Amino acid sequence: MAVTGIGTYASYTNSYGNTQNAGNKTGRTYKNAHEYKNYLTQKYECLRSRDYSVNINSSLLSKAMGDEKTKQWLEYNLSLIPKTIEQSRAYVAARGAKILSYSITINGYDSMSSVMCTQDEVDPGTEKARKELEERLEKRKAEKKETEERLEKQRAEKQEQEERQYNLKIDGKDVDDLTGKMVELLGTSTSIGVTENGVSAFDALA
């Protein structure tokens, strides 16, 4: 089964703003867009790949020749493409599929798109990767369930503890009297009475 996906490369432009600097300027000039394209092809691996294609809009090439900002943006993104392709392959393989074709088009400044065609496959390598992925997902699911059950148990225990908590008010003649009445009160099998203010009362003088 083949699946075709279309995506954008906004992450490139976000990272670019944090890495560009004036030191990237070369001062080199080109006679035309064709000459500039040849220079880029020699410099960047992605433009020579047989496994995927990278297309650059001719208008963007012409603009990059005379605009340093556009040139830096273009070349920065070209340098990132091989790593992106490898990441895509790994992700697709982990899902038990392979990439049949992959093309990236650089439409203009801050505008890129990709088309990827994949096919499901089953072989020892991808099957193992898929099983490992499923096992990890099942493990995370089990851990999440265990955590939820533990939290629920803790909540129930806390609620039960709160329900069994009470305050005792004991009146007596002296410490010994208070202690004796407290032991008697706590040791009784009957429930401890609770006053209107929520305090259990036991009058040792009675």
Same domain, 17 and 104: yes
Cα distance between residue 166 and residue 174, in whole Å: 23
What letter would DSSP give residue 44? -
The pLDDT, as a whole number, for residue 53 is 93
Same domain, 55 and 72: yes
Question: If DSSP codes are grouped into helix, strand and coil, which group holds residue 87?
Answer: helix
Same domain, 112 and 24: yes
Placement of tokens 């065609």 in the chain: 117
In Å, how far are 20, 22, 36, 60, 113 from 12, measured between CA atoms?
A: 12, 18, 22, 16, 12
Angle of CA points 65, 30, 24, to nearest 5°: 55
Q: Taking the chain (206 residues) in consecutive chunks of 10 residues, what is each chunk's mean pLDDT?
A: 44 47 55 91 94 93 92 94 91 84 91 87 64 84 88 82 60 70 62 46 43
End position of a domain, from candidates 55, 86, 121: 121
Same domain, 108 and 40: yes
Structural domains of the chain, count: 3
Cα distance between residue 163 and residue 171, in whole Å: 24
The pLDDT, as a whole number, for residue 173 is 66
pTM: 0.49
Cα distance between residue 84 and residue 114, in whole Å: 11
Same domain, 91 and 142: no
Same domain, 192 and 150: no
The pLDDT, as a whole number, for residue 7 is 47
What is the residue range of 200's domain? 166-206
Same domain, 75 and 24: yes
> If we measure between CA atoms, which residue out of 187, 191, 193, 189 comes closest to residue 206?
193
Same domain, 192 and 90: no
Same domain, 48 and 98: yes
Question: If DSSP codes are grouped into helix, strand and coil, which group holds residue 191?
Answer: coil
Same domain, 35 and 94: yes
Instruction: Tell me how crowded residue 81 is: count the other CB atoms within 10 A of its CB.
Output: 23
Same domain, 150 and 85: no
End position of a domain, from candidates 105, 121, 137: 121
Tokens of 30: 């080109």
Same domain, 13 and 94: yes
